[in-house]
Structure 1
């Protein structure tokens, strides 16, 4: 710039166009290495937009030789520069593509409204210094917001690659905030081609250097509390609609139609986003709850669900005065089967036996569960001893008819069944029913296996 004389402005504009483009290229290089690709690509897109806006100024200066102001297209690119930055700060990782699409639409709407607001202020700023001051303050607020949230994300991120990215982003954002404030408030009336232009390029050069730095991310953990980290993750998506509402409120007088559209987009967009996220969360919760109550091998209720169900049916029988039966079912000679055929075969035999037992429990109130190892249980509410014996025999014969090969004396898999039954639940504990079923199972196994025995429960 010193030696180019009259053409210093051209040198300056080329530098200010090249600096963000080089920073964007460095961010793409970092993204190709697989270290938090989403973030580095977002920064690269932002650099491309900023460099494109400056290239528009360069084009205007070369062809029009006029410094009447930034063109509409260049200003739009400068405004859109913040959209990918806000997206990477506001949208949590691993979101569904539809959620990301909604967030992207909100970010684009925010960029458009901000453009309308900025363009209107820029047009009025030439005649009114107060409008120019408002325009500068608005840019300060946007840059401050991006810098603060980048620092928060850095402080609350534990993943090394993401922490490295948000650390670099925060350094760039703080430097850009200071540089933009310096230029906008102290040197806004100085044309291109003077020494303050060097300061404009410094944040981009710093970002390029950080992106090209091959130092290891390290394994430093987040210093923030878990509750604060969770609050940032949950509250981050609110940033986009909140900003959209603020900008829409500012536009009410100058562009009422755009303001109403912005408010509607913010409310509906965030509402649809919340509905979709909540539905996915409920589905995940239901699936997780099911996993905690279902035995993975057999698909039956697990021990936890059995314990809760037995207490519930015991209390119901106490209220209604109806009988309650508990069947304890044990696969005969299962250790011999496992030792002879191996555990994979043993697991398949348990699965097949479980399905046969479940098919015999035809009432909706009947519950068949895996009790542990090769032992199963069945809860039969509101049955008589004869009805419980009929279900137990049906289960025993159903397993025998499967003809599952086994090294047991009979050559196929069989089960022994013990029945505990109580006619009327008065006081006492459910342990009496379990003890009765266990005693009956012991008698069935001692009696030769592949048989059913019953034992009345004695109230404690």
Structure 2
């Protein structure tokens, strides 16, 4: 069934071309009317296929292509009305406007990366619209309102320039996007190249002939190619290579310049006809590029801040990680040396955590880690203290500007909070508890390594003494304020 559908999709463009050329040849006196019907039908079919593909996958890109096709079909419809009913033998400014507008959504979708945030893309859309306005202003100076163009060669060259820009942008994005949207960019690139060739041939070699001849079917070719690629699903996807990724970075970095450079190019061409419009184009290009650069820079700052934040957060428990702990401990230790502030360090370990993992599995173990992290964080002073995951089932807390009595109270509160969660260990081994080792230091102490070792030694002693308790010990090299007696009824030792 799928093979049959693919055959039908492949045969449709051929039948369309044959029907166009054949009916025009047979129609004789009505050949022009018949040809116009096919010429309008081809971009409408391509636009419908693009919108269908966008509906099946994602509208990004395909919606712009569909809008471009409808603009082109509108331009051809305006040409038909002028030719058949108004005795205007060439395109008037309305049809030319629609042909110019056809390029605006294509240029936008090819130049503006979809991963950019909406403010940057809004600037891209405004510059693409301004580019279309400059193209149209240039065309208006090369033609009369009724379409009689005394400078027909320059007029055709202007359309060649627009088509060339679209083709170049499409080729760049095709080689720069070998990933998820490769099918879209291949389809648009194939269409843009085919359109550039076919439009160039018709404008320069068939431009003096009237509509209504079998050669008109050449105009259908790029639209039918796009229709086939949209319905077929594009070309097979390929994996990215190192060189393509490098080129992708170059295109992504240089994409903000593409529309401004195009605006400047058209502005230079327009100087001899309308200096004010040319200056306006230069100003829009400069302001647009500057504004977009600022927006991209702001986005980079935000991403850098997010990366910095993520590098300091433990992915599992969503509390500060070991890296953040080391940074804060070093900072507070250095600050303590310049003041009389006291510092307390708690090393916290979940008791019998391996038994819990063996019985319930790592998924439940991870959930227990998150619950313990939340309980410990809730007990800390939010404006002063830092609770971090030290590694595995071990946590650490830095208590800033605190005396030993208050530090002992916070440590005991943490121990009791975890015990009150009543989380089973499994196999009748009781509930999840923590052992806590504490060390306190003041401005006279030296040696951060001895400070950490003192807290570690206290933690190991709590483990040896039966777990689920708080131990405060001072290393011999530390001159620390001695701890106060444990609260009545607590398990501090």
Correspondence for 1:398 among 413, 436, 441: 413
**SS of residue paired to 2:212:** coil
Query: Within 2, Cα distance between the matches of 1:264 and 1:203?
Result: 35
Q: How has the CA–CA distance of structure 1 residues 391 and 246 changed in structure 2, closer, same or farther, with 3 Å as cutoff?
A: farther
User: Normalised by the size of structure 2, how large is the TM-score?
Assistant: 0.78
Query: Within 1, Cα distance between the matches of 2:62 and 2:245?
Result: 26
**SS of residue paired to 2:314:** coil
Indicate conservation of the 8 Å contact 2:112/2:124, yes or no. yes
Query: Within 2, Cα distance between the matches of 1:187 and 1:340?
Result: 82
Could you tell me which residue of structure 1 aligns to residue 18 of structure 2? none
Q: How does 1:367-378 map to 2 (within 5 A)?
A: 367-378=386-397
Q: How has the CA–CA distance of structure 1 residues 457 and 13 changed in structure 2, closer, same or farther, with 3 Å as cutoff?
A: farther
Correspondence for 2:261 among 207, 220, 242: 242
Query: Within 2, Cα distance between the matches of 1:24 and 1:412?
Result: 63
Query: Within 1, Cα distance between the matches of 2:236 and 2:149?
Result: 53
Query: Within 1, Cα distance between the matches of 2:239 and 2:198?
Result: 31
Could you tell me which residue of structure 2 aligns to residue 232 of structure 1? 251
Q: How does 1:152-167 map to 2 (within 5 A)?
A: 152-160=172-180, 162-167=181-186
Indicate conservation of the 8 Å contact 2:78/2:95, yes or no. yes
Indicate conservation of the 8 Å contact 2:342/2:403, yes or no. no
Q: Deviations over 1:294-316 (max 9, x none)?
A: 23455432111112333444555
Q: How has the CA–CA distance of structure 1 residues 340 and 362 changed in structure 2, closer, same or farther, with 3 Å as cutoff?
A: farther
Query: Within 2, Cα distance between the matches of 1:352 and 1:367?
Result: 12
Gaps of 5+ in 1: none
The CA deviation at 1:323 is: 7.2
Indicate conservation of the 8 Å contact 1:332/1:416, yes or no. no
Q: How has the CA–CA distance of structure 1 residues 21 and 333 changed in structure 2, closer, same or farther, with 3 Å as cutoff?
A: closer
Q: How has the CA–CA distance of structure 1 residues 338 and 29 changed in structure 2, closer, same or farther, with 3 Å as cutoff?
A: closer
Could you tell me which residue of structure 1 aligns to residue 455 of structure 2? 437
Q: How has the CA–CA distance of structure 1 residues 159 and 340 changed in structure 2, closer, same or farther, with 3 Å as cutoff?
A: closer
Query: Within 1, Cα distance between the matches of 2:27 and 2:376?
Result: 87
Q: How has the CA–CA distance of structure 1 residues 165 and 411 changed in structure 2, closer, same or farther, with 3 Å as cutoff?
A: closer
Indicate conservation of the 8 Å contact 1:444/1:453, yes or no. no
Q: Deviations over 1:288-344 (max 9, x none)?
A: 321221234554321111123334445556677987653323355666777899647
The CA deviation at 1:358 is: 2.3
The CA deviation at 1:242 is: 2.6
Could you tell me which residue of structure 2 aligns to residue 416 of structure 1? 436
Q: How has the CA–CA distance of structure 1 residues 375 and 210 changed in structure 2, closer, same or farther, with 3 Å as cutoff?
A: closer
Q: How has the CA–CA distance of structure 1 residues 348 and 21 changed in structure 2, closer, same or farther, with 3 Å as cutoff?
A: closer
Indicate conservation of the 8 Å contact 1:155/1:222, yes or no. no
**SS of residue paired to 2:41:** helix
Query: Within 2, Cα distance between the matches of 1:287 and 1:333?
Result: 35
Could you tell me which residue of structure 2 aligns to residue 281 of structure 1? 300
Query: Within 1, Cα distance between the matches of 2:244 and 2:265?
Result: 30
Query: How many residues are treated as equivalent by the alignment?
Result: 444
Could you tell me which residue of structure 2 aligns to residue 133 of structure 1? 153
The CA deviation at 1:444 is: 3.5
Query: Within 2, Cα distance between the matches of 1:344 and 1:437?
Result: 25
Q: How has the CA–CA distance of structure 1 residues 88 and 406 changed in structure 2, closer, same or farther, with 3 Å as cutoff?
A: closer
The CA deviation at 1:401 is: 5.6
Indicate conservation of the 8 Å contact 2:387/2:398, yes or no. yes
Could you tell me which residue of structure 2 aligns to residue 28 of structure 1? 51
Query: Within 2, Cα distance between the matches of 1:80 and 1:198?
Result: 23
Indicate conservation of the 8 Å contact 1:53/1:73, yes or no. yes
The CA deviation at 1:447 is: 4.0
Could you tell me which residue of structure 2 aligns to residue 99 of structure 1? 120
Q: Indicate yes or no: 2:132 matched with 1:111.
A: yes
Q: How does 1:53-72 map to 2 (within 5 A)?
A: 53-67=75-89, 69-72=90-93
Q: Deviations over 1:233-255 (max 9, x none)?
A: 23223322332233234334533
Query: Within 2, Cα distance between the matches of 1:177 and 1:85?
Result: 13
Q: Deviations over 1:262-301 (max 9, x none)?
A: 3343333344434334333332332232122123455432
Q: Indicate yes or no: 2:162 matched with 1:142.
A: yes
Q: Deviations over 1:89-111 (max 9, x none)?
A: 01112443443333222222211
Query: Within 2, Cα distance between the matches of 1:389 and 1:322?
Result: 12
The CA deviation at 1:115 is: 0.7
Q: Indicate yes or no: 2:368 matched with 1:346.
A: yes
Could you tell me which residue of structure 1 aligns to residue 109 of structure 2? 88
Query: Within 2, Cα distance between the matches of 1:152 and 1:237?
Result: 13
The CA deviation at 1:232 is: 1.3
Q: How has the CA–CA distance of structure 1 residues 388 and 377 changed in structure 2, closer, same or farther, with 3 Å as cutoff?
A: farther
Query: Within 1, Cα distance between the matches of 2:432 and 2:225?
Result: 75
Q: How has the CA–CA distance of structure 1 residues 111 and 331 changed in structure 2, closer, same or farther, with 3 Å as cutoff?
A: same
Indicate conservation of the 8 Å contact 1:420/1:456, yes or no. no
Query: Within 2, Cα distance between the matches of 1:180 and 1:104?
Result: 25
Q: Deviations over 1:29-76 (max 9, x none)?
A: 333322x53223222221111111111111112212331x31121110
Correspondence for 1:329 among 341, 345, 348: 348
